[in-house]
Structures are given as C-alpha cells and as structure tokens.
Amino acid sequence: MKSTGTLETRLRRRSLHEEVTEALREMIVSGELPLGQKVPEKELCEAYGVSRTPLREALKVLATDGLVTLEPNRGAWVSEITVNDLDEVFPVMGALEALAGELACRNVTEEEVRQIRALHDRMMEHYRKGDLPEYFAINQQIHEAILTAARNPTLTVQYRSLATRVRQARYVANMTSERWRRAAEEHEVIMRCLETRDEAGLAEILKSHLENKLVTVRDWLLARKLAE
C-alpha cells in the first residue's frame, strides 16, 4: 500500500506539473507574459494554487523549449526573440512543413479532409470578422491536423519541438491588414492543394507561407530594436 500511495502521489504531481507547464506555455506564446519579463513565480503559484515545486519543474521544461531563461539566484525570464533565432529556426520549420504537406497528401483520409475544410471555413469567418485571436487558434488546429494526416511520428516530434517558438514569434509580431489578407489567401491555396492531393503544391505553399511569417516577424523585431 505504501508503494502504491507513493506512485499515486508521483502521478498527481506529474499531472499538476504538466497542467502548469501548458498554462505557462500559452501565457508566453500569447504574449500575456511579455518578452524579457521576469516570470512572477509567487503570483503564479497563488493564481494556480500550487507550490513552487511544480512551477519550477514547469519552468525547466519551458527553458528546454527556449521559452524561458533560468538565471541562478535571479529566477526565470521570458526569453527574448532575436533575428538570429528566427533565421535558425524558420528554415528548419519550413522544411518540416513542406514534408508534412507531401505526406499528408499521400495519407490523409476523406473524413480528415472534410474536418480540415470545416476548420478552414470557420477560420475564414473569423478573418472576415477581424477576430485575430480566434483566427490564430483555428489556424494552429489546421496545421496540427495536416501534421497528423502525415502519419509520421518522427516528423511530429521534430515539428512540435520547434512549433512553440514559431507560434510565439507569430503572436508577438504585429499582423498588418495586408499581411493578414495574404495569409488568408495562402490558406485558401493550402486547402485547395490538400483537397486535390497536390503534393508538390502543398509542400511549396506551406513553406512559402512560413517564409512570409518570417518576414513579418523579422520586420517587427527590427522596428522594435530601433525604437529601444
């Protein structure tokens, strides 16, 4: 009984640690915890009703993802995004996106295509309403659905190890109306290529779609640096 109780305690702790990790990840990615800000550990512990232990375990995971920087005796800070970071991560992510598109065209089911089409139509409704947060949320679901349809676990692991940093860069950068319009048009092409199983076309548009995001984020970072 004693060993079972210990296991149950470990499992509860693990679940709590995972919940805190995901909550903090979303706060950082969405910009609720701004770039360069010290992570308010005490306030977060109070807000989530947890001790410092699961919070610090969560921060270690986020540090591995590159979202926070741990400094001895100073705590944790939300990591800054640099142009060098983007130039390193985005080309790799673009190659993974392209591969996911090719494999998805080969392996996606008709039901999955219908589900992705439904997501796309909902996302475009939010675009027409000017609802950027909901547009982003469904956009993420679409890219995840294409990744799932690729049926390649190794690709999934590598993709997700980089995806959080890309999502953070996308959220924090200013999305101009012109760039948003182009992004929506690109998603129309993505949908058509998936529905027609155009492997080369989907690979190319997914890669260029990400490259265009890189331009947006790089421009924002450079403008931010000049304003400092």
pLDDT at 111 exceeding the cut of 60:
yes
**C-alpha distances out from residue 3 to 8, 9, 17, 145, Å:** 9, 10, 21, 40
Q: Is 224 exposed, middle or buried (0-12, 13-18, 19+ CB in 10 A)?
A: middle
User: Across the strands, what pairs with 78?
Assistant: 68
- Is the pLDDT at 17 greater than 90, yes or no? no
φ, ψ at 71 (rounded to 5°)? -120, 125
Output the pLDDT for position 14.
58
Q: If pLDDT is split at 50, 70 and 90, which confidence band does 3 have?
A: very low
| CA pair distance 86, 181, nearest whole angstrom | 23
108: phi then psi, degrees, rounded to nearest 5: -65, 145
pTM: 0.82
What is the predicted pLDDT for the residue at 24? 93
**With bands split at pLDDT 50, 70 and 90, how would you rate the model's confidence at 1?**
very low
- Taking the C-alpha atoms of residue 34 and residue 133, their distance in angstroms, rounded to an integer, is 17
122-126, 161-165, 206-210, range with the lowest pLDDT = 161-165
By CB atoms closer than 10 A (0-12, 13-18, 19+), residue 1 is exposed
Q: How many CB atoms lie within 10 A of CB 225?
A: 10
DSSP one-letter code for 75: E
The pLDDT mean for the chain works out to 90
